[in-house]
Amino acid sequence: MRIYLRVLMVVAALSLGTLFFFPMWKIYLEAPQYPEGLELHIWINKLGGSSESVLQNFNILNHYIGMEPINPDSFAELKYMPYIVIFFMVTGVIVGLLGKRKLVLYWVILLAIAGAVGIADFYLWLHKYGTNLSPNAPIKVPGMTYIPPLIGPKELLNFNALSLPAWGSLGVFLALVIGGLVYLLSRRKVNST
């Protein structure tokens, strides 16, 4: 594999580092009580927001509809996700240094699978929080669930929710695209010789 492709592979692996500097996902919630909106940021190792009290305010709103409080300590994923990202960064750099086409493909496929598993896990958490409601909730609508959107907007009673990837997710996207290009370009060079 040519040197520039090896360098690109290392860049692909290191682009995952954005997850340590930016949130990977955000959920924006607009409610009559908070017309300025609340923005919850989901990082690979913590939950935060646009202000210190965002999580507390989310929990206050969730209480009215019977959702259990969001407690960062209940998400085991926040403890082990940084290690998964570091694993992919280190193995991606090693793959780049070795310059083996098949290893590039395996790395890209494994990263895509890990991303898909992460999104599925996120949806399962959203589903759990939106359907496992307290029967003692101050606001009860028979048959109503409050599953926040996985991606895009959704209206939940008088709340407007919007869920979108944040800047950290761009690193995963870049890693997949650049890794895929490295594999394709290295194939073309081999086939043309």
Residue 16 belongs to a domain:
yes
State the first-to-last Cα distance of the chain, in angstroms, to the nearest integer.
12
Residue 191 belongs to a domain:
no
Residue 193 belongs to a domain:
no
Mind listing the pLDDT tens digit for each residue in 89-130? 999 999 999 999 999 999 999 999 999 999 999 999 988 888
Domain encompassing residue 106:
3-186
Ordered mean pLDDT values, 10 residues apiece, the chain (193 residues): 94 97 92 83 89 82 80 88 97 96 96 95 88 78 78 85 93 96 80 44
**The predicted structure's pLDDT at residue 91:** 98
**The predicted structure's pLDDT at residue 33:** 78
- Are the beta carbons of 62 and 69 closer than 8 angstroms? yes
**The predicted structure's pLDDT at residue 192:** 44
Residue 31 belongs to a domain:
yes
The region that residue 107 occupies, defined by phi over 0 for left and psi between -120 and 50 for alpha, beta otherwise, is alpha
Residue 50 belongs to a domain:
yes
Number of compact structural domains in the chain = 1
β-bridge partners, 155: 160
Residue 192 belongs to a domain:
no
The whole-model pTM stands at 0.86
Residue 165 belongs to a domain:
yes
Residue 70 belongs to a domain:
yes
